[in-house]
Amino acid sequence: MTLLMAFFVVMYSISQVSEEKYRILTETFNEAFNLSGYSDAQPIRDSSSGNDANDVPEFFTRITEQLDKSFESLIEDEFITVTGDERWLQIELQSAILFGSGGAVLSRPAEAIIGELSAAMLAYNNVIRVEGFTDNVPIKNRLFSSNWELSTARATAVVRLMESQGVEPSRLAAVGYGEHQPVAKNDTEAGRARNRRIVLMVSTREQLRPNASQIDNIATEASPVDINS
């Protein structure tokens, strides 16, 4: 059975489930397939300054102000970029300030940067999805057989450091995209440098996925479906 068919089977099976449980399951599929996306993200600015805040949550604006103060020079040099919309705060960090070439060990300056970011997040309970990206230059060494492994290892390194800094692990997730989500062309060194990045996606949600009890409730209240009929 294909994944798409499975999706529709599940949707049919919960036709008698409450609207709230339907919403939970639908949001889970949205997260799994990244249907929420973040292509419309825009630079966040303080609405009190007269600029359009793009309807972003107030706490996103507060975090952005804190990051602007902590990383002013890195933001000016575009090593760190902060954008967002009503769903996500997107904090993009260039890998050049975090990792050595072909490696996934955070540098000492990177530890300080991630430490500052973690401190900014401690006051909130929102989900943080850490995403790793690479350029399209193939890698094959004793540690990583492809850019999939490298991007995932880098995202995981950031997650582990954030956890050690006190961020609740249930708020965190690590995702690796390899070279498959470029933001620039890979035919120049500047473009490849832009594609080597870590992105922290801070959600308006305070739950990464339904917990076990929510999933059990959905399963027990759903009408049985015979997929062979």
pLDDT at 63: 87
Is residue 124 predicted with pLDDT exceeding 80? yes
% the chain with pLDDT above 90: 55
Query: pLDDT for 155-175, tens place per residue?
Result: 999 999 999 999 999 999 999
The β-bridge partners of 126 are: none
The whole-number average pLDDT for the span 92-108 is 96
Query: Is-above-0.75 flag for pTM?
Result: no
Main-chain phi, psi angles of 89, to 5 degrees: -100, 125
The whole-number average pLDDT for the span 144-157 is 98
pLDDT at 34: 47
Three-class HEC string of the chain: CCHHHHHHHHHHHCCCCCHHHHHHHHHHHHHHCCCCCCCCCEECCCHHHCCCCCCCCHHHHHHHHHHHHHCHHHHHCCCEEEEECCCEEEEEEEHHHCECCCCCCECHHHHHHHHHHHHHHCCCCCCEEEEEECCCCCCCCCCCCCHHHHHHHHHHHHHHHHHHCCCCHHHEEEEECCCCCCCCCCCCHHHHHHHCEEEEEEECCCCCCCCHHHHHHHHHHCCCCCCCC
Residues in the chain: 229
Residue 147: pLDDT band with limits 50, 70, 90: very high
Is residue 190 predicted with pLDDT exceeding 70? yes
Query: pLDDT for 40-88, tens place per residue?
Result: 555 544 434 433 444 567 878 888 899 999 999 999 999 999 998 888 9
Is residue 25 predicted with pLDDT exceeding 60? no
pLDDT at 207: 62
HSE-CB of 2 using CA atoms within 13 angstroms: 3
Residue 212: pLDDT band with limits 50, 70, 90: low
pLDDT at 176: 98
- Specify whether the CB–CB gap between 117 and 97 falls below 8 A: no
Alpha carbons 179 and 148: distance in angstroms, whole number: 8
More confident residue, 151 or 27: 151
- Specify whether the CB–CB gap between 134 and 144 falls below 8 A: no
Ordered structural domains, the chain, with CATH: 42-203 (3.30.1330.60)
Is residue 118 predicted with pLDDT exceeding 80? yes
Average pLDDT, the chain: 79
